[in-house]
Amino acid sequence: MIVTYNDPSSILDDANYTMNTYDIGRGSSRYYEKHACRHLQLKTCLKTIENDWSSLNTDTEKAILQRHASYAQHITTSYAVFMQLTGILLIFKSSMTLLFEDTTNTTLPIIVAESKLPFRVEYGEKMRQCLFPVAIHCYLAVFAHSNITIAVDSLYITLVHHACGMFKIVGITDEDYGKALSCLRRHLHVIEFAELIEATFTNIFLVGVCLNMIGGSMIGIQVVLNLDDAKDVVEPLTIYIAQLFHLFLQFWQGQFLLTYSAVPYESICRANWYYTSGRCRKILLLIMNRTVLPCKLTAGKIVILSIETFGVVNQTALLLSIFLL
């Protein structure tokens, strides 16, 4: 079947719908597939968290780690609510279109009928006859993909904040040589844990950043071309906000790890290290040397996840939109 377009914006709509389908569907499936392949790494991460909780000796250490765990829980809960509301808004807009517009018209082009769904599907000439069952299937797919994304990102947030809490615990140094040696061992352990998080998520972040940049640019163009029709702006704008929030969350957690990996260095500098023994000073010096290079999360070993690079990525997407216009 060959489809002709008289309006250039129709081509952009098609590309944008394809991009959204790929971003929501294939992107989430890629998340699931890659994490399934890395089940051993994830199992190691979860086992490390369990061992870290068992190794805590004082109520202060437990309180610090519990505070970071609670903070991670608040973030994941808010993120889950936001993502589900985004899916509900897309479904609401699609269902209102199906209920209040004539979708049974046999002269209605298939491409117009498909545009009333949350994302583009291909069912050929049977689309008009099965539009409502297909719409229900699309609604369930939106929730399924949203839940997959929420589950993966929640795991990522939990791992990062656990690492931040452990770095904070390492920063509570003591003048006693034995405790300083324990801090050194725990510091090396947390660094290994952070490197494991990096190895697990780095390739997925690269795919996500690229998809969000391209998708955000295309959605921006579509919004500009449809500014005179609010009905056609709501859906792409909602998807763009969800993509932007999703991307910000990933970079924000990377900034957390960057900041907290420097906590041991700052704590040692503020401590009365000059009153400790020579052996204890050597231990503290080893910790300080290791914190010269902070732990970081990257997208494909190329882009460091931080608030600064988040701004650069969004600026690049904006420039790409201007270039395509």
Residue 228: pLDDT band with limits 50, 70, 90: confident
| Measured distance CA(319)–CA(325) in Å, rounded | 10
Instruction: Residue 275: count other Cβ atoms within 10 Å of its Cβ.
Output: 9
- Between residues 137 and 54, which one has the greater pLDDT? 54
What is this structure's pTM?
A: 0.78
pLDDT confidence of residue 183: 83
Written as one letter, the residue type at 273 is W
Mean pLDDT across 263-279: 79
Q: Write the secondary structure of 200-238 as one string of H (helix), E (strand) and C (coil).
A: HHHHHHHHHHHHHHHHHHHHHHHHHHCCCCCHHHHHHHH
Mean pLDDT across 82-86: 90
Phi (first) and psi of residue 305, to 5 degrees: -80, 110
Tell me if 175 sits within 8 A of 269, measured CB to CB. Answer: no
Residue 159: pLDDT band with limits 50, 70, 90: very high
| Measured distance CA(4)–CA(24) in Å, rounded | 27
The string over 2-17, giving b where at least 16 C-beta atoms fall within 10 Å of a residue's C-beta and e elsewhere, is eeeeeeeeeebbbebb
Using DSSP bridges, classify how beta strands 298-299 and 303-304 pair: parallel, antiparallel or unpaired: antiparallel
Tell me if 113 sits within 8 A of 127, measured CB to CB. Answer: yes
Give 147's strand partners.
none
Summarize pLDDT for 184-227 with one digit per residue, the tens.
Answer: 888 899 999 999 999 989 988 888 888 888 887 888 777 777 77
* Tokens, residue 232: 């056609």
- The distance of Cα 102 from the centroid of its chain, to the nearest Å, equals 38
Phi (first) and psi of residue 303, to 5 degrees: -110, 125
Q: How far is CA 44 from CA 47, 183, 219, in A?
A: 5, 21, 39
Taking Cα atoms as reference points, which of 207, 234, 218, 206 lies closest to residue 318?
218
DSSP 3-state assignment of 120? coil
